[in-house]
Amino acid sequence: MILDLLRHGETEQGGGLRGSLDDALTPAGWAQMRQAVATAGPWDALISSPLQRCALFADELGARLGLPVRREAALRELHFGDWEGRSAAQIMQTEADALGRFWSDPYAFTPPAGEPVAAFAERVIAAIDALAVSHAGRRVLLVTHGGVMRLLLARARGLPREQLLQVEVGHGALARLALAADGRLLEVV
């Protein structure tokens, strides 16, 4: 399976940790995503996070390409708990030590009331494994979030878990992975 990953574009609520917040895209965010896929594809299937910043663009693209869109809840963003909707600068003002621990090893520190990164990784990888079975030999576009893309790209690159948050994924970024027969993710450049 070839898996193209598309991160949603800029959202109305701006930067910060959006997580499970269901922000809408800005006009610039729509443009970022349209530009990213303008010369990409073709795809045999479209899969999307259920959050509107991904799903509404996937619906538009699916209508244009004549492909149905499947929403996959397991491929939504990490839930940041009490940190959702806050920027790193805001969190630094009151919880600098906790934010530092999260940035240095997100698997070892969970934001207050948040989802552990190990549980997030488990649900995302299980969803990708299921897609690999149901879409073997096909090209799939996954419209998703920065955290999902960081996780999958870090695995494909063989990075240690402490480097997860060092993987850069901008708004409207498009990346390609191949799923090998043995289940390994390989980055295609």
Catalytic residues: 8, 77
| Whole-angstrom distance, CA of residue 75 vs CA of residue 130 | 12
| 3-state secondary structure at position 8 | coil
Give 155-158's long-range contacts (Cβ < 8 A, gap of 24+).
155/125, 155/185, 156/185, 156/186, 156/187, 157/187
Work out whether the CA dihedral 42, 35, 11, 178 comes out positive or negative.
positive
Cα angle vertex 84, ends 95, 171, to 5°? Answer: 115
* Distance of alpha carbon 165 from alpha carbon 172, whole angstroms: 18
Q: Tokens 């998703």, residue? A: 144
- Helical H segments across the chain, by residue range: 27-37, 52-65, 88-104, 117-134, 146-157
